Every structure is written in structure tokens, then in C-alpha cells.
Amino acid sequence: MTGAIEEPRRELEVVAHLLDRLAREDFAGDPRLGELQRQMSADGASGAAAIAALARLAEWLESRRNAIFAPFAFAWMWELHCSLAIERWRAVHGRQVAPWLDALAELEALASIAGYAYERPADPFPELVDEGPRLRGEELRHPLLPECVANSVDLGDPLRVLMISGSNMSGKSTLLRTVGINAVLALAGAPVRARRLELSPLAIGATMRVEDSLREASSRFYAELHRLRILMDRAQAGDPPLLFLLDEIFHGTNSHDRKIGAEAIIRALVEAGAIGLVTTHDLALAEAITDLGARAENVHFQDEVVDGRLVFDYRMRPGIVQRSNALALMRAVGLEV
């Protein structure tokens, strides 16, 4: 059996099977799961039975394409009868479909988180606090890196911003990803890759992987400006406070404009009650944030040359980085500089 309805019919059968399987589970010990289970059979109608019935109607409609049955289908106006039956189904169950699928989606998300937690028994669950903004992570690691160096981050009151400088490939962007993904996992209710993570409810925003677009006639710098405008609006909304992750802020413009613009953006985010991390290669910008006093701190990653090779330890250190490795990397790939 082929045709435009075949794939949707199969998807309906999968949904019906999942709804039926979940409807038969015993969730008496968990109020939220019990509520979702009841939502899948609201108004006395079984979501599983109704979706299965719709799948059968779709199968009957598709049968008109069968070469043997096609003449009979034409004579009996099979397509009209099936279409009317589907319309009657919609009139009865149409308003209930969204709650059924919402409940199924939430249960699927919870099952995914439970599976993630089961596979990582050593990872702790986060500690959620009401007072914020707050993010205190001890020995944070990236969940997708089996072997990685742990770093700790403590943001809240009074420290609101970490300005991260450092050489190329030293781990600046990876730290932002580490903080961001662990915050997302924590707020979703999953365990985190850390020795301990304490945080308050946060909205998370980032300027990572910002790209230009020929279709939208947008440069990388202009796309970053739009992203920052969105983050600023979220920060000013303030409920919940924003955790911002700004990677190589304004690196697409000259150092003079970058310093003025980035300093103003960071100050505005801090004044709006946000917390976050910013990476930069611009040492003048790193020095400029000292005007924020105790609300900002400089940290860095560095490398060293061992036997003519660049070696990174990926450990975060206090202060502004004191050297760059860009020329060494150019020479390493054969460029004469």
C-alpha cells in the first residue's frame, strides 16, 4: 500500500499504541503522571481508541488505490464515505486531540530525562533555590565529553559577569557550552555533569553559532545584533532572570566600536539583573569591565609550548590572559608569519 496517506496512517498507529500503553500503566504514586494519564482519556473518550479509529479510517481511504478494489471504490463512492467518516471523527474528537498529544509529549520528555538519569547514576541532580539569579557549579563538565577538565563557576550576588579571555583553542567556548547545557539539563529536571550545581530559575540566552544569511541579507554582525536585542528584551523582562552566554562578542567589528558597544551591552544586562559569561580576545574589553567592580571578574585560559608544541590544560585561572597563540598556530599549519 502506497500513497500520501500511508505515512500519516503509520504515525497514527504509533501514537495510538503509545497512548494505549500509557493508559494501562499504574501511576498512582505520582500525582503529575496520574494527571497526564487522565488527560489522555478526558471527557470519557479514550485517546488511544479514538486515534486507532482514525488510523483505520485512513487505511480504508487509502485502500481505494488498490488496483483490484479501485472499480468497486469508484462505484460505491468510497472516498466520499471515508471522507465523511473522517469529518464525523473530527467533529467528535477534534478538540481533544491537542490535550492528548500534549500529555503524550510531556510523558515522552519525562521518559527521556528518566532514561538519561538511569544511564548516568554518578551524576547528581541539581539543587534549585528560589533566591536569584544564582548559578553555582562545582567541577562542571560537558556531558558530551567523556574525558574533560572540570571548572567551577559561581555567579549571583555580587558577582554577575565572568569575562573570559584566552588563547585560541584553549576552552573558552567550551566553558560557555558546559555552563549552558548543564543549566538546561538542571532546569529540565535532569541530572547534571558536575560535583554539585545550585541554581535559581533562569531564562537562558546565547550568541553562539550566530551565522550570516544571504536569504535574509544579514551579515554575521547584524545577526548578532538582533540576537543581542532579543537577549536584552528577555533580561529586562526579568521573570525569570536571564543567564547570558556571549561568545566572542562583537568580534566582527573594529576594536574601538567593539569595546564601547560590548561594555554598554554587558553593563545594561547586569543592570537588568542578568548573570552570565562573556568570551573575548580583546584585552581592552577585558580591562574595561573592571569598572563594574565586584559585579564582574576576569578569568582566562592559557596554553604553553612544550617541545615546540602547543599544550592546553583547559583550566580556568583568575585574571586576564597575558599572551596569545595565534602566530604559533599560523606557523603550525605552515603559514609563514
Per-residue model confidence (pLDDT) at position 241? 95
**Whose grid coordinates read 521518559?**
111
pLDDT digits (tens, 9 = 90+) for 28-80: 888 888 888 888 876 666 888 898 988 888 887 877 777 788 887 788 888 88
105-114, 220-229, 299-308, range with the lowest pLDDT = 299-308
Residue 45's Cβ-count burial label (10 Å; 0-12, 13-18, 19+) is middle
Please give the residue that has the higher pLDDT: either 326 or 221: 221
Confirm or reject CATH 3.40.50.360 for domain 127-332, answering yes or no.
Answer: no
Q: Say what the pTM is.
A: 0.81
Per-residue model confidence (pLDDT) at position 130? 92
Query: Residue ranges per domain, the chain?
Result: 6-119, 127-332
**Cα gap 47→33, rounded to integer Å:** 16
Tabulate helix, strand, coil % of the chain (nearest 5): 50, 15, 35
pLDDT digits (tens, 9 = 90+) for 252-307: 788 888 889 989 999 999 999 999 999 998 888 888 888 899 999 999 998 877 77
Letter string b/e over residues 187-215, b meaning 16 or more CB atoms within 10 A of that residue's CB: beebbbbbeebbbbebbbbbbeebeeeee
